[in-house]
Amino acid sequence: MNFDIPPDLKEFLSSLDRFIEREIAPLQAQDDNERFFDHRREHSRTDWDNGGLPRLEWEALLNEARRRADKAGFYRLSLPVEYGGQNKGNLWMSIIREHLASKGLGLFNDLQNEHSVVGNFPTIVMLLSFGNEAQRKEFIPGQLAGKVIMTFGLTEPDHGSDATHLETVAKPETRNGVKGFVLNGRKKWQTGMHVATHCILFARTSGRAGSTNGITAFIVPAKTPGIKVESYEWTFNMPTDHATVSLSDVWVPSTAIFGPPTSGLSVAQAFLHDNRIRQAASSLGAAAFCIQESIKYAKERKPFGKALAWNQGIQFPLVELLTQTEMLRLLIRKTANDMDSMPDREVEKKLTDKVSMCNYWANRLCCESADRAIQVHGGVGYSRHKPFEHIYRHHRRYRITEGSEEVQMRKVAFKVFGLSDGHFKCGSLNALLLAIIASSAAQGVGTGTIDGDLAALLQCARECIGDATLGAGCSSAENYICQCGAARSRIEEDATPCITAKCAASDIQSIYDLTNEICDLVAISQGTSSVKVGSPSTTAAPSNTSAQSTARGASPTTTDDSAPTTTEGSSDNAGPTSSSTTPATNSKPVPVGAIVGGVIGGLAVIALFAFAVIVVVIRSRRNR
């Protein structure tokens, strides 16, 4: 086990420092550019007469620093080689971001808008992962040249962490023979809207509120009629470029769809883990800067003729913070290194809790370190002649914006306590799924609009569901007690983009509908009523607020993360097969052969159901 920084990365850091001293430091010292970094920084950066937006000369300086970094070969480090980068991963980027942040405030790595001489490129990563060829050709070179600037429109005035409940809708509409969509709704915290050329907008195109399926992403020109900036929200750390935007009958062609239709949340999460681990490293670097500056000051400052460093009231808090930075540094680097060794889907399954640990604790540690630095420095620490208040004001936002502390701690807690594992292990959802879909196909019941070969689709869907089940913390890919319990919404969320991308399913809800009978069985065996997949009740908000749902003829129910729901007054819950016994209204007459196959398939399903119930009940009693 070797904890040393790789030699080539050490050389890169040295080369980067030389570049900063040669190119960036003189640019910062040129004319009166220092005003953007000393005690005048907030006023110099903020155009108070223009809604609190960044001043043009401030943004021009940042652009010049990026241009020089790009010319020197540092800016595109993490991008693929074909886009001028070196394809460096999370370990490199984490160490670099910590290194730059540990140097304090400066043009090389400013806190205000996450500017850095080594770029991060979240929207380019999204385009590489989900953009079609035309979108990649149009937008990636444009972004690198500074001609394309994209905002990210997921959050809404009434919906933040509960993004599946967003109220912005997109309805199909053809204009002048061109198929497209009309968007209506509102977005909040669309950063960079004042200079944006395009907006990535998320809207519901199908499904019920609360469902992870049915949300579609669009790339929309910012000047499209109907897009209006309502306000810019003034924040703890000014200037602001965080807009509230209204969308009124915004028409876009179907070519504006970004990523898989109805699976737009997968686009939103494309850079999630990478961004969180790198932000954790940046916060760690800023914390280390605050601590080291405090240690230096404590050795120099001598009240009553004796250095502050001799005072245990100064020593002990700094020792605790320093200890935490040392431990956190190792966790961040190990996690980043592990992330580089596996595909993104594996990261979600195996490392998402570690990434959350790094991110929420680093952001909190940075705020605590900045606050301690203010205390150690006394009055001057509280003033803007020191950078600590600026560091605190900026990094305080990351305890909210990069996934709130509470959401990330909840993610860790579910992993640690196995809360999504159910009470006992039993049976196979995927084995029963095979019989259900085969029988339903033979009878012409419940198959929806699934395209392609049913058997191939089924195997693909089973693999996606199995992977998502493991990712949700279940003990096995075939643990249907877990699949039908608290983990169900997460499994649906993770399986949906996989099924949509790989299984040629034009109506993914039909796949989930076919698993409802199984969860009815599970619920009956435990003396409860089931929660239907695809209903709003399957996704609970982090605050445990209940969501309303009506599932395939059942009465409205309320659910939370802690217990199954109770459905009253509904005959549809009388038996496990009641929800799939009525043919679809658009079904055609069924041939005799299909009827015979349906009967045989139905008998097989009944036998499997009976066996499943017996096994569930026996094992349930054993665990009492």
Q: How far apart are CA 324 and CA 291, in angstroms?
A: 11
- Cα angle at 193 between 189 and 196, to 5 degrees? 140
What CA–CA distances, in Å, run from 490 to 348, 469, 482, 487, 539?
12, 8, 11, 5, 8
Please check whether residue 579 is in contact with residue 553, taking contact to mean a CB–CB distance below 8 angstroms: yes
Higher pLDDT, 272 or 428: 272
State the pTM of this model.
0.70
Among 170-184, 188-202, 555-569, whose mean pLDDT is lowest?
Answer: 555-569
Q: 253 has which bridge partners? A: 180
Give CA 292 to chain center in angstroms. Answer: 33
Among 93-102, 233-242, 600-609, whose mean pLDDT is lowest?
Answer: 600-609
Q: Rounded to the nearest 10 degrees, what angle do helices 312-340 and 352-377 cross at?
A: 150
Higher pLDDT, 201 or 263: 201
How much of the chain, in percent, has pLDDT values that exceed 70? 73
pLDDT tens readout for residues 122-167:
999 999 999 999 999 999 999 999 999 999 999 999 998 888 899 9
CB neighbour list of residue 394: distance below 8 Å, 6 or more residues apart: 111, 112, 237
Q: Residue 618: which pLDDT band, with cuts at 50, 70 and 90?
A: low
Please check whether residue 240 is in contact with residue 52, taking contact to mean a CB–CB distance below 8 angstroms: yes
- 425 pLDDT above the threshold of 70: no
Q: How far apart are CA 609 and CA 607, in angstroms?
A: 5
Helices (H), 246-342: 264-268, 272-300, 312-340
State the pLDDT at residue 480: 63
Mean pLDDT within 567-575: 35
What is the CB neighbour count within 10 angstroms for residue 48? 13
pLDDT tens readout for residues 444-456:
433 333 344 444 5
State the pLDDT at residue 445: 37
Q: Residue 624 corresponds to which tokens in the numbers above?
A: 């009492």
State the pLDDT at residue 551: 33
Domains of the chain in start order, with CATH, are 7-126+270-415 (1.20.140.10), 148-258 (2.40.110.10), 418-540+563-622 (no CATH)
- 256 pLDDT above the threshold of 90: yes
State the pLDDT at residue 524: 53
**Average model confidence (pLDDT) across the chain:** 80
Residue that is written with structure tokens 């960079």 in the block = 192
Higher pLDDT, 114 or 578: 114
State the pLDDT at residue 494: 80
Please check whether residue 192 is in contact with residue 186, taking contact to mean a CB–CB distance below 8 angstroms: no
Q: Are strands 547-549 and 557-559 parallel, antiparallel or unpaired?
A: antiparallel
pLDDT tens readout for residues 344-402:
878 888 999 999 999 999 999 999 999 999 999 999 999 999 999 999 999 999 999 87
DSSP annotation string for 317-367: HHHHHHHHHHHHHHHHHHHHHHHHTS-HHHHHHHTHHHHHHHHHHHHHHHH
State the pLDDT at residue 559: 33
Please check whether residue 510 is in contact with residue 448, taking contact to mean a CB–CB distance below 8 angstroms: yes
Terminal Cα-to-Cα distance of the chain (whole angstroms): 45
Please check whether residue 573 is in contact with residue 521, taking contact to mean a CB–CB distance below 8 angstroms: no
How much of the chain, in percent, has pLDDT values that exceed 90? 58
State the pLDDT at residue 504: 58
Mean pLDDT within 548-568: 34
Give 552's Cβ-side CA count (13 Å radius): 24
Please check whether residue 135 is in contact with residue 219, taking contact to mean a CB–CB distance below 8 angstroms: yes
Q: Residue 376 corresponds to which tokens in the numbers above?
A: 């150690």
State the pLDDT at residue 392: 96
CB neighbour list of residue 260: distance below 8 Å, 6 or more residues apart: 130, 266, 497, 500, 501
112 sits in which H/E element: none
